[in-house]
């Protein structure tokens, strides 16, 4: 999927000119003449670069950038102004974390070069974030080694919590921080002795006191690691109860940060539905009934209703995840595959295990389809990055499908990716047969 460059200006002529200049950079150029609408867009979409005018009605560019730093921290910001005085430039760069200041009227080549530099900076930031995510996730998984019965718990909690946050309409940045908090919510258990963590009996009072310390210990670690306030709040407050009887601080209701209330639901649900040393996991129906009974007591009643009604509890069953990217999502008919994420030389290694799993399942059901029509749909539309290496992997996937007797899968593919495949010379290998 092309990177998004958002241009905001109250002058439609400038917007049209900017779109014309930037459209040849291989990015998706979105133009808006309303800074309030732009702020909403930044919260909903992954925007690589924001280019905004400073002098606009309702909200100036500096104010837009200041607010954007809350909902879209990783977006690289560029500000334009016809009043290129030193004070505006200094404020933009020093106080609002602006990447570059472009005085009006700007030259096309100057703007194009500035956006190219900003896109490169965004890619660098994304690479660093992915590396940091790998460290955070590895830390959570390492801590889980102390308690084999909860292996995978942090991943499942993070997945469900993000689904709730998404349904609630929280910004992409907030969803990401909630994911990190979900991964690390129990990181303080590194300080709890294993004989206490793995006890298959009711804990003694002093043992329970030790366990209750894990939220404070974990939050302290997160602060020292300079993790965000959202992550710290999740770790510290995920055992606070809506009625104010939880720990460590006994706060209740909306005094509990929204991110912690979200993760609490995911944490309780997964703890109930999975096996633990002291009991077997409950059925899905029993678990949901118990979660509903906790409304207004342990859990936020509004968020519980949202969780139940929108089936957010199915998130971990319907999606295969690796880090942030959803790599493959399959339908219950086992004949549909959605390819998502990074199909480039840097991302292909993450895709291979999931493609192999899919092919194995198709091979299992293929004999039962002999003698009857068997269709397979492949959705390319959410592949974000595609290069020669990715095309080679996709071609290998299709060769394997053809070996299973699926000669002409139905393709869903954007014009951008179709053109990309054509330019890289993989038309015949990928589009052998009929496609839509």
Distances (CA, A) of 360 to 221, 243, 352: 42, 48, 12
Does residue 268 surpass a pLDDT of 90? yes
Q: Is the dihedral of CA 254, 255, 258, 264 positive or negative?
A: negative
Q: Which residue has the higher pLDDT, 275 or 33?
A: 33
Decide if pLDDT at 266 tops 80.
yes
Q: Quick one: pLDDT band at residue 321, thresholds 50, 70, 90? A: very low
pLDDT, residue 198, reads 63
Domain boundary among 287, 318, 349: 318
Q: Specify the number of domains making up the chain.
A: 3
Residue-number span of the structural domain to which 403 is assigned: 320-430
Does residue 68 form part of some domain?
yes
Model confidence at 333: pLDDT above 60: no
CA–CA distance from 375 to each of 232, 337, 369, 399, 411 (Å)?
Answer: 48, 11, 10, 15, 11
- The answer to the question of residue 436 being in a domain is no
On the question of pLDDT at 189 being above 70, the answer is yes
Residues 94 and 175 in one domain: no
Q: Taking Cα atoms as reference points, which of 376, 379, 435 lies closest to residue 403?
A: 376
The whole-number average pLDDT for the span 325-334 is 37
In a domain, 246, yes or no: yes
Q: Token pair 């709040």 is at which residue?
A: 233
Confidence grade of residue 332 (pLDDT, cut at 50, 70, 90): very low
Number of Cα atoms under 13 Å in the Cβ half of residue 147: 27
CA 356 from chain center: how many Å? Answer: 23
Percent of the chain residues topping a pLDDT of 70: 78
- Residue that finishes a domain, picked among 318, 336, 367: 318
Using CA atoms, how far apart are residues 173 and 299, in angstroms rounded to an integer? 24
Q: Is 59 a domain residue?
A: yes
Domain contains 136 = no
Residue bearing tokens 């990015």: 27
Q: What are the helix and strand counts (H, E) for the chain?
A: 19, 10
Q: How far apart are CA 9 and CA 5, in angstroms?
A: 13
Q: Does residue 270 belong to any structural domain of this protein?
A: yes
Question: What is the arithmetic mean of pLDDT over 152-177?
Answer: 88
Residue 172 and residue 241 in one domain: yes
Spell out where 376-423 has E strands: 377-386, 410-412
Higher-confidence residue of 39 and 333: namely 39
Indicate the pLDDT class of residue 87, thresholds 50, 70 and 90: low
Residues 151 and 22 in one domain: no
Q: What are 364-377's pLDDT values in tens digits? A: 554 444 344 455 77
d(CA 342, CA 358): 17
Of the candidates 228, 151, 232, 226, the residue with the CA atom closest to the CA atom of residue 188:
232
CA distance 88 to 311: 48
CA dist., res. 426 & res. 420, Å (int): 9
Instruction: Yes or no: say if 288 and 307 are a contact pair by the CB < 8 Å rule.
Output: no
* pTM assigned to the model: 0.60
In 310-347, which residue ranges form alpha helices assigned H by DSSP? Answer: 315-318
- Whether residue 142 has pLDDT greater than 50: yes
3-state SS class at 16:
helix
- Provide the CATH number for the domain around residue 349: 3.30.750.24
Domain boundary pick from 77, 108, 123? 123
User: Is the predicted pLDDT of residue 318 greater than 50, yes or no?
Assistant: no
**Calpha distance 373→140 (Å, rounded):** 46
* Greater pLDDT, 110 or 364: 110
**Do 362 and 257 belong together in one domain?**
no
pLDDT at 278: 62
Of 61-65, 305-309, 348-352, the least confident: 348-352
For residues 194 and 342, membership in a common domain is answered with no
Predicted confidence band at 360 (pLDDT cuts at 50, 70, 90)? low
50-84 per-residue burial string, b: 16 or more CB within 10 A, e: under 16:
bbbbbbbeebbbbbbbbbbbebbebbbbbbbbeee
Does residue 12 surpass a pLDDT of 70? yes
Whether 141 shows a pLDDT value over 80: the answer reads no
Could you tell me whether strands 325-330 and 320-322 are parallel, antiparallel, or unpaired per DSSP bridges?
antiparallel
Residue 329 pLDDT > 60, yes or no?
no
Q: How far is C-alpha 128 from the geometric centre of its chain's CA atoms? A: 15
How high is the pLDDT of residue 182? 93
What is the arithmetic mean of pLDDT over 306-333?
A: 51
Are 161 and 258 found together in one domain? yes
Residue 372, pLDDT score: 45
Which pLDDT belongs to residue 330? Answer: 37
Instruction: Please tell me whether the peptide bond between 105 and the residue prior to it is cis, using omega within 30 degrees of 0.
Output: yes
Say whether both 324 and 405 belong to one domain. Answer: yes
Taking the C-alpha atoms of residue 425 and residue 420, their distance in angstroms, rounded to an integer, is 9
| 168-172, 350-354, 369-373, range with the lowest pLDDT | 369-373
| 115 in the same domain as 55 | yes
Helical packing angle, 108-144 and 172-184, nearest 10°? 20
215-221: Cβ within 8 A, 24+ apart: 215/188, 215/239, 215/247, 215/248, 216/188, 216/248, 217/188, 217/190, 217/191, 218/184, 218/185, 218/186, 218/187, 218/188, 218/189, 219/188, 220/188, 221/187, 221/188
Q: Tell me what pLDDT residue 92 has.
A: 61
Q: Which residue would you say has higher pLDDT here, 245 or 372? A: 245
Query: Which strand (E) or helix (H) includes residue 352?
Result: helix 348-365
Share of the chain above pLDDT 90, in %: 31
Query: How far is residue 371's CA from residue 24's CA, in Å, rounded to a whole number?
Result: 50
The pLDDT value recorded for residue 353 is: 65
Residues 6+ apart with CB under 8 A from 225: none
Q: Are strands 76-81 and 100-103 parallel, antiparallel or unpaired?
A: parallel
Q: Is residue 388 part of a domain?
A: yes
- CATH number of the domain enclosing 87: 3.40.50.2300
Mean pLDDT of the chain: 80
Contact residues for 241 (Cβ-Cβ < 8 A; gap 6+): 252, 297, 298, 299
CA distance 239 to 213: 11
Q: What is the pLDDT of residue 324?
A: 36
């Amino acid at each position: 999927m092309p990177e998004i460059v958002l241009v905001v200006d109250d002058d439609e002529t400038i917007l049209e000119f900017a779109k014309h200049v930037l459209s040849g950079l291989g990015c998706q150029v979105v133009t808006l003449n309303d800074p309030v609408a732009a702020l909403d867009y930044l919260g909903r979409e992954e925007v690589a670069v924001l280019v905004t005018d400073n002098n606009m009605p309702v909200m100036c560019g500096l104010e837009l950038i200041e607010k954007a730093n809350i909902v879209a921290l990783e977006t690289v910001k560029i500000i334009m102004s016809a009043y290129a005085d030193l004070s505006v430039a200094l404020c933009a760069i020093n106080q609002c974390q602006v990447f570059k200041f472009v005085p009006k009227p700007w030259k096309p080549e100057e703007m194009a070069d500035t956006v190219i530099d900003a896109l490169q900076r965004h890619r660098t930031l994304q690479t660093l974030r992915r590396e940091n995510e790998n460290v955070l996730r590895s830390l959570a998984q390492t801590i889980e080694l102390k308690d084999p019965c909860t292996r995978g718990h942090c991943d499942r909690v993070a997945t469900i919590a993000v689904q709730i946050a998404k349904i609630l309409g929280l910004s992409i940045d907030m969803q990401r921080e909630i994911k990190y908090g979900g991964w690390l919510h129990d990181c303080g258990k590194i300080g709890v002795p294993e004989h206490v963590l793995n006890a298959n009996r009711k804990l003694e009072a002093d043992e329970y006191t030790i366990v209750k310390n894990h939220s404070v210990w974990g939050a302290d670690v997160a602060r020292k690691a300079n993790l965000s306030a959202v992550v710290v709040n999740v770790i510290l407050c995920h055992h606070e109860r809506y009625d104010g009887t939880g720990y460590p601080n006994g706060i209740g209701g909306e005094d509990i940060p929204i991110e912690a209330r979200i993760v609490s639901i995911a944490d309780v649900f997964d703890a109930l539905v999975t096996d633990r040393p002291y009991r077997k996991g409950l059925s899905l129906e029993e678990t949901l009934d118990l979660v509903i009974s906790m409304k207004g007591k342990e859990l936020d009643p509004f968020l519980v209703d949202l969780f139940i009604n929108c089936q957010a509890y199915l998130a971990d069953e319907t999606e295969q995840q690796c880090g942030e990217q959803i790599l493959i999502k399959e339908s219950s008919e086992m004949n549909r595959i959605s390819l998502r994420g990074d199909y480039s030389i840097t991302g292909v290694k993450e895709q291979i295990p999931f493609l192999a799993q899919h092919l194995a399942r198709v091979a299992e059901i293929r004999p039962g389809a002999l003698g009857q029509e068997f269709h397979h749909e492949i959705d390319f539309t959410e592949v974000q990055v595609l290069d020669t290496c990715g095309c080679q992997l996709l071609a290998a996937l299709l060769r394997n499908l053809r070996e299973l007797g699926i000669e002409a899968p139905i393709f869903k593919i954007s014009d951008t990716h179709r053109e990309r495949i054509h330019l890289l010379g993989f038309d015949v290998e990928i589009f052998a047969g009929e496609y839509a």
